[in-house]
Amino acid sequence: MNDTSPEMAAKLHQLFMQRSGYERMQMGFEMFSFARSIVTSSLEAQGYRGTELRQQIFLRTYGSDFTPEQCEKICQALAARDLDIKQT
């Protein structure tokens, strides 16, 4: 969905381009961090904790970038990693 007029989109682009590459990169990191905190809060409110929380964050963030089989392997690897950490 795009509800921004072409004129405002051009103005916003112009404002972003006035910032340094570092500032634009920092903005991207901050936006990703904020979005991740929203996803995490939503999942925690649904009762996810620990390994299941990490798996659900992965699936919400990157799930559409992988096949279902790849997602399952990655989720299994996250669970195995958490188990290894608990055992040490």
- Write down the pLDDT at residue 2: 87
- Write down the pLDDT at residue 87: 81
CB count, 10 Å around CB of 56? 19
Its pTM stands at 0.78
Look at residues 43, 60, 42, 52 and name the one whose alpha carbon lies nearest to residue 78. 52
The stretches in the chain having pLDDT less than 50 are none
- Write down the pLDDT at residue 14: 97
9, 16, 19, 34 from 12: Cα distances, Å:
5, 6, 11, 20
All residues at 6 or more sequence positions from 27 whose CB lies less than 8 Å from its CB, including other chains: 16, 19
